[in-house]
Amino acid sequence: MASNKKLLILAGDGIGPEVMTQVKRVITWFEKRQGLSFSVSDGLVGGCSIDKHGVPLTDETMAEAMDADAVLLGAVGGPKWDNLPFEIKPERGLLRLRKDMELFANLRPALVFDALAEASSLKTELVEGLDIMIVRELTGGVYFGQPRGIENLPNGERRGVNTQVYTTSEIHRVARVAFELARKRGRKLCSVEKANVMESGLLWREEVTKLHGEYKDIELSHMYADNCAMQLVRQPKQFDVIVTDNLFGDLLSDCAAMLTGSLGMLPSASLGAADANGKRRALYEPVHGSAPDIAGKDLANPLACLLSLSMMLRYSFDLGKEADLLDKAAQEVVAGGFRTGDIMAPGCTKVSTTQMGDEILKALDRLAV
C-alpha cells in the first residue's frame, strides 16, 4: 500500500461541486482498484465560504492548504456574490491560495483529443494533433502589483488603479519552469509580453533572453501578446511551450481552450518552488469557472477537472502510470462518442455530468485489466 497522501478538496461554487463529485468517484476507484491511499479532507472556498463564514477563505482552510500535499479546486464565483465589496468576493479566496502558497507557475496544457478535432471552432486540420503548454506566471503582475484600488479625486472623478510589476527573480523562476518543460517536449519556447509598450514587458524579454544562455538547446522566440492571440487562432501548431505573465496568460489560455473544443476540457496545475526534497506546493483546478448558466443541472463537462486530477497524480505524486490510465480513459470515452453538451457532435451520445463519470469509471475498469 502506498503511503497516505494528504489531499484537500475545495469544490467551490456553481458547477465546481458537480464536477468534483466525479473526481471523488475516480479517486475512490484508484484507492479500491490500484491500491493508492489518499487522506482526503473537504473545505470551503469562494461563495460557499462567504455564505458560511463571511469570507471567501478562512485562515483555517488556508492553513490546511499549506499543510496538504496537494489541493484540488473546482471553481469559485457566481452572480449571487458579484456585488460584494471587492476584498471579500469569491475570486479573492482563490487568489489568496495562489499567493500564500506561492504557486508562481501555472501550467495550462491545451491538448486536442483526436476525436474532438471537429469540435474546435477552427478547421480540423489546424488543430488536429495540437499539443501546447501555456505557462502562466500566477503570483505577480497586475493581479497583485501595488498600488491598487479605487480612489476619489478632488475633482469628483473616481480613479481605478492596478499596477503591472515584475522583478527579475519572478521572471527567472517562471521562465526556468518553462525552459525545463520545453526540454521534455518539443524544445521550443515562445515568450509573450508587450515589450513594445510596457517596461515590465521589456524587462521580461531581456531577462528571458539572458536565461536562454543556460538553455541553448531550446529554440527561443519572443512575441507580442496581441500577435500571440492572433497566431493562436491562425496557426496554433507553431507553438510548443508559451511562457507569459499573469494577465496575458489568463486571456491566452481561455483562447487556447477553445482550440480544444471547449473550456470544459482544459485542466491546470499551479506549482510552487521545489523544496530540498524536490517537493512542490501544488493546486490543481480546471481552467473554467463556475458556469452559472448551467450550474445545478448535471450538464457540466467534468473532464477538465478529471484531467486536473491526472496532473495531480503526475506532478505531485509521481504516479505517471496512473495518470496515463486516466488520460487514456478520458480519450477513450470521448472517442466512444460520449459527449456532454459543450462537446456534443452529430451521431454522438449526449451524456450528463454523472453519466460522463460513469463512462470514465467503466473505461478505467476496462483499461486496468
Ligand X SMILES: NC(=O)c1ccc[n+]([C@@H]2O[C@H](COP(=O)([O-])OP(=O)(O)OC[C@H]3O[C@@H](n4cnc5c(N)ncnc54)[C@H](O)[C@@H]3O)[C@@H](O)[C@H]2O)c1
Ligand Y SMILES: CC(C)[C@H](C(=O)O)[C@@H](O)C(=O)O
- The verdict on 342 binding ligand X (CB under 6 A) reads yes
Letter for the amino acid at 54?
G
CA 329 to each of CA 18, 31, 126, 310, 322: distance values in angstroms, whole numbers, following the listed order: 19, 17, 25, 11, 11
48 or 287: CB nearest ligand Y = 287
Pick from ligand X, Mg ion, ligand Y, none: which does 95 bind, CB < 5 to 8 A by kind?
A: ligand Y
Angle at 305 between CA 299 and CA 309, to 5 degrees: 150
Q: Which residues bind ligand Y (CB under 6 A)?
A: 77, 91, 94-95, 250, 287, 289
Is 297 assigned to a binding site? Answer: yes
- Tell me if 217 is assigned to a ligand binding site: no
Nearer to Mg ion, 40 or 255 (CB): 255
- What are φ and ψ of residue 217, in 5° steps? -75, -10
Q: Is 77 in the site for ligand X (CB under 6 A)?
A: yes
Say which entry of ligand X, Mg ion, ligand Y, none residue 264 contacts (CB below 5 to 8 A, set by partner kind): ligand X
Q: Facing residues of 160 across strands?
A: 150
Residue from 249, 261, 264, 267 in contact with ligand X (CB under 6 A): 264
* In 54-188, alpha helices (H): 59-67, 90-100, 124-127, 168-184
Shortest reach from residue 106's CB to ligand Y, in Å: 8
Q: Which of the choices ligand Y, Mg ion, ligand X, none does residue 304 contact, using the CB cut-off of 5 to 8 A by kind?
A: ligand X
Give the one entry of ligand Y, ligand X, Mg ion, none that residue 78 binds, where binding means its C-beta sits below a cut-off of 5 to 8 angstroms depending on kind. Answer: ligand X
Contact 225, 252 (CB under 8 A): yes
Give the whole-angstrom CA distance, residue 13 versus residue 24.
Answer: 16
Backbone φ and ψ of 341, nearest 5°: -55, -35
Is 51 annotated in a binding site? The answer is no
Site string for ligand X, 11-40 (x = CB under 6 A): ----x-------------------------
Choosing among ligand Y, ligand X, Mg ion, none, which partner's interface includes residue 199 (Cβ < 5 to 8 Å by kind)?
A: none
Q: Which one among 145, 292, 336, 337 touches ligand X, defined by CB under 6 A? A: 292
Of 344 and 367, nearer to ligand X (C-beta) is: 344
Least Å from the CB of residue 94 to ligand Y: 5
Q: What are phi and psi of 49, to 5 degrees?
A: -75, -35
Burial of 172 (0-12, 13-18, 19+ CB in 10 A): middle
Tell me which residues are annotated as active site. 143, 194, 226, 250, 254
Q: Does residue 201 have a known ligand-binding role?
A: no
CB of 89 to ligand X, least distance (A): 8
Nearer of residues 91 and 219 to ligand Y, judged by Cβ: 91
- Residue 208, classed as helix, strand or coil, is helix
Amino acid at 189: L
Q: Which three cell numbers stand for residue 49?
A: 465560504
Report the nearest approach of ligand Y to the CB of residue 350 (Å).
27
* C-alpha cell at position 285: 483546478
The answer to whether 52 and 42 are in contact (CB under 8 A) is: no
Q: How far is the CB of 312 from ligand Y (least distance, A)?
A: 16
Rounded CA-CA distance 283/64 in Å is 12
- Where does the chain show beta strands of DSSP type E? 5-12, 38-43, 70-75, 105-111, 131-137, 145-152, 158-163, 188-193, 219-224, 241-244, 269-274, 280-284, 338-339, 349-350
Per CB under 5 A, does 250 bind Mg ion? yes
Q: How far apart are CB 105 and ligand X at their closest, in Å?
A: 16
Residues that bind Mg ion (CB under 5 A): 250
Task: Cite the annotated binding site for substrate by residue number.
Answer: 98, 108, 136, 226
Task: Cite the annotated binding site for Mg(2+) by residue number.
Answer: 226, 250, 254
Residues that bind ligand X (CB under 6 A): 15, 75-78, 91, 94, 263-264, 285, 288-294, 300-301, 304, 342
Task: Cite the annotated binding site by residue number.
Answer: 78-91, 98, 108, 136, 226, 250, 254, 289-301
